Structure 1
Amino acid sequence: MSTKTRRALVLGGTGAVGSEVLRALARAGVPTTFTYHAAKEKAQALATELDQRARPLDLLDSKGLSQLAAALEAEGETPDVLVHCAAVLRGGPIDGASDEDWDATMNVNGRSAFVACREFGRQMAARGGGDIVLTGALDRSQSLPVPPLFAASQGLLAALAMAVAKDLGPQGVRVNVVALGLLDSGLSLGLDPKLRADYQSFSALRRLGSPAEAAKTIAWLALSNSYINGKVVSVNGGI
């Protein structure tokens, strides 16, 4: 399918990675809608800069994504490219994590990925195929000291992608995860500075990544991939 005929939806478009994904899609000439929660001014600026459409969405609302899917379908803007870039980092060490932290983390990082795969995967299958890219942070080949709630929410993405790819692959829908290492902005800044320094020292490249580098792989999987399905692609600098 030519990128010129495709339409994209990016969940979490105002984040560090999400905004770079928007720029990559704009360069490819792909009409794009993106969601935001609290960063209204940034969303409006990105929409103007990139000629894209911003829509508010609270991923703590269990019905919000289903309503968005129905609205886009009714408006004739059903995407065949979906990039999930939304995430929160809460809780810290296990002894300080609350039930409320668990609920917020799993709703935003986990449940929304499931609902997005269900709602938009169904639409893509009916339209002959598409691509879903879930942005995560663990590929399970490393053993890293990260907040347990965040780790739990990221660990489910690989299994979700594997299973959904089996369900929707026969209808031409590809579902993959990009597992990012630490970056020089975004959620990574919320981690302990010592952890970031240790990560950099053990990285094969001896540096943190950038959101723009992450977006290159995400955009490739979203627009150019034709045969990778149900997999985790690691973009972590060699950790």
Structure 2
Amino acid sequence: MTGLAAFDLTGRTALVTGSSQGIGRTLAEGLAAAGATVIVHGRDETKAAGVASQIEAVTGRRTHSVVFDVTDAAAVDAGIAEVERLIGTPDILVNNAGVQRRAPISEFSDADWDALVQTNLSSVFHLSRRVSGGMIARGSGKIIQIGSVQSQLARPSIAAYSATKGAIVMFTKGLCADLAPHGIQANAIAPGYFDTELTRPLVEDETFSAWVRGRTPAGRWGDTKDLVGALVFLSSAASDFVNGQTLFVDGGMTAVV
């Protein structure tokens, strides 16, 4: 398969965790627009179902929704069983669910550390372990993590968050080592600073926003749509020989000092 046909996701199925809002919602809609049958995931059943209906209306692609706790291994097992009932083992797993907690390290609480590790890292382990079994049996699959520029760059008050995102880079390489012999590709996308519901207070903080624009060679915050092309590439046959990599979508932030 060559040319634009290599990027076509028609006939593929995808699960995007944390896709009832923010970056995840845009990613789910982008996969549907590229031809995939998508499952929207969230914590609120009404919200997730509503987003799925909206994506289906916009793209014309069948879109489902599921609700389960990504931090709980038993809940993940049950949730993926429901996904399998709806669409079988997904061709594409996008581990997008994540949280942020900020505080100086000397004041960082155990509860916030645990929340970051469980949501940003353990969830990726739970989902990847559960879904990879079906992918191995089929002999194909794409697993994509949503990381961050904070896997490479540190800032005050987010040491714990950076630790979880740095771990995502190495976990992705580990998945490649385990799964590449089975025809499965595991890669990560590392966004820079993006304008979302969760970052809205930072966007509206003119001092911080000016720092982002000045620190980013592109001179602006990212739009969530800027991530769709990278995701479609890593989800499609176009990336069948790309494995264990982290693709930075950051306006050039990690390329300059």
Q: TM-score, normalised by structure 2?
A: 0.85
Change (3 A) 1:35 1:236: same
The match for 2:227 is: 214
Output the aligned Cα RMSD. Answer: 2.1
100-109 vs 194-203, which moves further: 194-203
**1:200 matched to 2:213:** yes
Displacement of 1:75: 4.9
Displacement of 1:233: 0.4
The match for 1:45 is: 50
Displacement of 1:146: 5.4
Amino acid at match of 1:200: R
Q: Match for 1:167 among 178, 187, 190?
A: 178
The match for 1:119 is: 130
**1:189 matched to 2:200:** yes
52-61 vs 7-16, which moves further: 52-61
Q: Match for 2:140 among 106, 129, 135?
A: 129
3-state SS, counterpart of residue 5 of structure 1 = coil
Q: Map 1:48-197 to 2 at 5 A.
A: 48-51=53-56, 52-75=63-86, 77-138=88-149, 140-145=151-156, 147-189=158-200, 191=202, 193=205, 194-197=207-210
Distance of 1:145 and 1:122 partners within structure 2: 39
Equivalenced residues, count = 238
48-57 vs 1-10, which moves further: 1-10
186-195 vs 223-232, which moves further: 186-195
List runs of 5+ in structure 2 lacking aligned partners: 1-5, 57-62
Equivalent pair of 1:139/1:234 in contact (CA under 8 Å): no
Equivalent pair of 2:105/2:157 in contact (CA under 8 Å): no
Equivalent pair of 2:72/2:123 in contact (CA under 8 Å): no
Alpha-carbon deviations, 1:26-82, whole Å to 9, x = none?
Answer: 2122111121013x4432222112231111112232321122223333555210101
Percent identity for Structure 1 against Structure 2: 28
Alpha-carbon deviations, 1:6-39, whole Å to 9, x = none?
Answer: 111111111311111111122122111121013x
Change (3 A) 1:196 1:66: farther
5-14 vs 184-193, which moves further: 184-193
Distance of 2:47 and 2:164 partners within structure 1: 26
3-state SS, counterpart of residue 58 of structure 1 = coil
Change (3 A) 1:146 1:176: farther
Alpha-carbon deviations, 1:187-209, whole Å to 9, x = none?
Answer: 33365944443122111111110
The match for 2:242 is: 228
Q: TM-score, normalised by structure 1?
A: 0.91
Distance of 2:54 and 2:92 partners within structure 1: 21
